[in-house]
Amino acid sequence: MPRALSMQRTVVPPGDRVKFLERVRAREAHYTSAGCQFWLFEEAALPGAFIEFTEARDMPTLRQAHASAAEPPLDPARLYAQVELS
């Protein structure tokens, strides 16, 4: 079964940055404990513009992790499956 990935973009005002990062740390802990990888990137040219990536070994794992999250993604149905190139 192919790996699965989801992405979520967020723009955070400067005054909300600390609070946002606290919430993201909680999301990271949730997804890690659910067997997923979690990354947060900030756009280099636009401070406060973030993109989160959550990856799992398969689609059911990612769906379950999203379903059990305290803050599920805005669009939990938008999931990506890895394409085998060989």
pLDDT, one tens digit per residue, over 10-63 is 999 999 999 999 999 999 999 999 999 999 999 999 999 999 999 999 999 999
Q: Identify the DSSP state of 50.
A: E
Q: How confident is the model at residue 1 (pLDDT cuts 50, 70, 90)?
A: confident
Ranges of each domain in the chain: 4-81
Query: Is the pLDDT assigned to residue 70 strictly greater than 90?
Result: yes
**Looking only at Cα atoms, what is the longest distance across the chain?**
47
Q: Identify the DSSP state of 14.
A: G
Q: How confident is the model at residue 86 (pLDDT cuts 50, 70, 90)?
A: confident
Q: Write down the pLDDT at residue 76.
A: 84
Give the number of other CB atoms < 10 A from CB of residue 15: 8
Architecture of domain 4-81: 2-Layer Sandwich (3.30)
The pTM of this model reads 0.91
